[in-house]
Structure 1
Amino acid sequence: MNKILTGGITRRSLLKTTATAALVGAVKTAFPSGAFAATAGPEVTAAKLGFIALTDAAPLIVAKEKGLFEKYGMPDVEVAKQASWGATRDNLVLGGEANGIDGAHILSPLPYLMHAGKVTQNNVPVPMTILARLNYDCQGISVAQEYAETGVTLDASKLKAAFEKKKAEGNEVKVAMTFPGGTHDLWVRYWLAAAGIDPDRDVSTIVVPPPQMVANMKVGNMDVFCVGEPWNEQLVNQGIGFTAATTGELWKGHPEKALGMRAEWVEKNPNAAKAILMAVMEAQQWCDAMENKEEMSKILGKRQWFNVPPKDVIGRLKGDINYGNGRVATATGLEMKFWKDHASYPFKSHDTWFLAENIRWGKFAPDTDLKALVDKVNREDIWRAAAKDLGVAADDIPASTSRGVETFFDGTVFDPENPSAYLESLKIKASS
């Protein structure tokens, strides 16, 4: 935990520095000629970054709260709350110069959907860049209280008969996610399909913004939802429903959100983009330290960020899970990871899986050149440059752009070198 960053400063001593003046002093010690001794300084001092009220936005929020953007020469960065992922997309299409945003805490597949013009007005492509992954794990699939007696957990097949009965009675079964083709859509689809429930035929998928999930389930607008924290924990704390499974149980160590920016902005301001990235990476290290979780939950709970009680954030942030159906587990290892296990590095193999799943569900054509698309959007090279300037330990920098073969809870295997074989192995998909 106490790794040396650069210039003899320990990670702990640097990350615990909060006052702006002290931060500036610390960075001068670490970088005698300034933070950008090796390169020119940022081209601009401002950028507008969007976020959704989800725990995985923490690196952006902490970077703002702790003065880290200022530390790296970007004192005028604004971190602005977005109403939904659709609003995030629309504001990215506009761009900061047109009163939109320049970048965002974002669902990892969304920059690809925008880059290819799949979710934009008139299908006009908006070139996008992924600079980092923001986190692994800690999303949840939660179910309305009426299904408690089914005993459903990681195995969704226990819902099959209940769903069929509800439909036979003339009622719709609604499964909510946050954006079509986004991570939460893909997790809940994978979970249902693995149990033989076709998400396109057996249920209706609906889009609900993350902060509105709990209120909508409370009034009976949905049967199941998939969303990030703190909303699953809040659901349980309010006694409205329960968590069947966390997404880390589907695929432990799975990628989730990303730091995405308009490619035009990154190309125009490469040093500023790297400075923003460095601030976010340092914040990720701070967020990952267990001793910071209490303070972090208080920061996120503030009115201008999430406006929730810290108790709705803290449990699952530590890996302690009250599922809400009598199951309570502590120290699960399913807590949100921000830095360890290479959580910040944007593996190209992970983006390949997101694109393969979007082929599975009809968002991309089967003949899409996945490698070419990933190479255009994923700028892991900028991450590596930022890591070098930060003095990140060699062990924290992956040797390859691929994490290799991944195995899911149902035994399905994804080889990023052969996504076609993965797609062929799946029984339920859009074409089935």
Structure 2
Amino acid sequence: MPDIFSADLSRRRFLRHAAATAGTTALFSAIGASFPAGAFAQGTGPETTKAILGFIALTDAAPLIVAKEKGFFDKHGMPDVEVTKQSSWGTTRDNLVLGSAGSGIDGAHILTPMPYLMTAGKVTQNGQPLPMAILARLNLNGQGISVGKAYADLKVGLDSSVLRETFAQKKAAGAPAKVAVTFPGGTHDLWMRYWLAAGGIDPDSDVETIVVPPPQMVANMKVGTMDAFCVGEPWNAQLVEQGIGYTAFTTGELWSKHPEKSFAMRADWVEKHPKAALALVMAVQEAAQWADDMANKDELADILGMRAWFNVKPADIGPRMKGVIDYGNGRDVADSPHFMKFWQDDASYPFKSHDAWFVTEDIRWGNLDASTDIKAMVEQVNREDLWREAAKALGVSAIPASTSRGKETFFDGKVFDPEDPAAYLASLAITRTA
């Protein structure tokens, strides 16, 4: 078992968690479970009114951006929150390592596996662990895998095997196909790998995987840097709009109602500021509810499209958020059930079972040690308890009864049982764990 799960560290984590929980309990005893408009009782407000949060120009950052633009951070006693644009997921990681005390950031809109990889010290400099805490999920669905127009005749969709022969020919000619993802071991990397492997294409030996920041995907496809990419919106839509390629499928078709980005903070920040962390979660929950209202989608697209945020035409953002998808290959869907969700279907709640899948997949591809204690790691990083406290304070009635959504079934029929990750790994034909 990795050192980060040693008994001594586990004991200290438990004590820290107990202290934070005690602080949260005391807070709610003081302010009551139904205080008005998110206001704290006198003398029980957040320990700080400031937090610096990072985001990447992706539609699933909406809850953080809306919380800032619509005043939800202010409402919950956090008027000095800054939401700052990051150029890449690597930059997000580096700035989290620095923390705001080092001119970095305290938390972020982030790829769900990243807090686990950072906590384990797998993607940080010198392998130095940075304990992280996932406080909320930001969305379900809403990503896509797109291919260049050179593959129009193959009509690429969920079945990646249609690319196998072409990719084999490119490899034999000494110019292997390139597939782009946004961060090694991140969600887009895992979606791309799952899709390729399901069609018999080994993502490590049959193609070359490159890392490209989300806002640079379209430009790189335009100049022929890659053959396919996996990224969130609005970049798949922009690819279609510019006539450079088409969307093979949206990731909700690969795994219906799949979890995607998370709102995570440095664990030491949460431990030092438990009331402020709770206030941030409440603001993000209210923002998610606002963003999920179809009546607000056009305004949301206008907000996200602003120069300060994405600097993208609202017309390239709004339709896919509503389930209106032009795939760019003659396929048009007016009411896709796989549109991005911020609140409905428990989109905001960070199920531990979902985090277990991400950890398991990173074990599958060698990003985490095969000996990793999946349950222990999820227990360390996932702070769904704070999400529950925040939801109760807001008067949310639909709070999941369990930390598990149960078994999950993928497009190819594979089933992930969070109670038996080993059986899932054993069912996979292409894996690095064998």
Q: How many residues align?
A: 401
Partner of 2:427: 425
Identity %: 69
Q: Does 1:186 align with 2:185?
A: no
The SS at the match of 1:401 is coil
Amino acid at match of 2:420: N
RMSD over aligned CA atoms reads: 1.2
Q: Could you tell me how far apart the structure 1 residues matched to 2:112 and 2:229 are?
A: 19
Distance 1:34 1:219, change over 3 A: closer
The SS at the match of 1:114 is helix
Amino acid at match of 1:182: G
Amino acid at match of 1:192: L
Structure 1 residue aligned with 2:405, among 403, 406, 412? 403
Q: Could you tell me how far apart the structure 1 residues matched to 2:207 and 2:145 are?
A: 15
TM-score normalised by the chain length of structure 2: 0.91
Distance 1:310 1:32, change over 3 A: closer
Answer yes or no: is the 8 Å Cα contact 1:200–1:430 preserved in 2. no
The SS at the match of 2:82 is strand
Amino acid at match of 1:404: G
Distance 1:34 1:62, change over 3 A: closer
Q: How does 1:29-428 map to 2 (within 5 A)?
A: 31-32=35-36, 35-37=39-41, 40-393=44-397, 396-428=398-430
Q: Note the C-alpha offset of 1:39.
A: 8.6
Please identify, of 63-72 and 164-173, the stretch whose mean Cα deviation from structure 2 is larger.
164-173
Q: Note the C-alpha offset of 1:38.
A: 9.8
Q: Note the C-alpha offset of 1:168.
A: 2.4
Q: Note the C-alpha offset of 1:33.
A: 9.2
Per-residue CA distance 1:292-321 (angstroms, 9 max, x = gap): 100000100000100000111011110111
Q: Could you tell me how far apart the structure 1 residues matched to 2:405 and 2:371 are?
A: 24
Distance 1:278 1:39, change over 3 A: farther
TM-score normalised by the chain length of structure 1: 0.91
Q: Could you tell me how far apart the structure 2 residues matched to 1:63 and 1:143 are?
A: 34
Amino acid at match of 1:325: N
Answer yes or no: is the 8 Å Cα contact 2:97–2:104 preserved in 1. yes
Q: Could you tell me how far apart the structure 1 residues matched to 2:114 and 2:168 are?
A: 32
Q: Could you tell me how far apart the structure 2 residues matched to 1:75 and 1:62 are?
A: 14
Answer yes or no: is the 8 Å Cα contact 1:349–1:401 preserved in 2. yes
Q: Could you tell me how far apart the structure 2 residues matched to 1:277 and 1:42 are?
A: 12
Segments of 4+ moved more than 6 angstroms: none
Q: Could you tell me how far apart the structure 2 residues matched to 1:170 and 1:110 are?
A: 33
Partner of 1:27: none
Answer yes or no: is the 8 Å Cα contact 2:136–2:350 preserved in 1. yes
Answer yes or no: is the 8 Å Cα contact 1:288–1:337 preserved in 2. yes
The SS at the match of 2:297 is helix
Distance 1:34 1:245, change over 3 A: closer
Distance 1:392 1:82, change over 3 A: same
Q: Could you tell me how far apart the structure 2 residues matched to 1:38 and 1:404 are?
A: 42
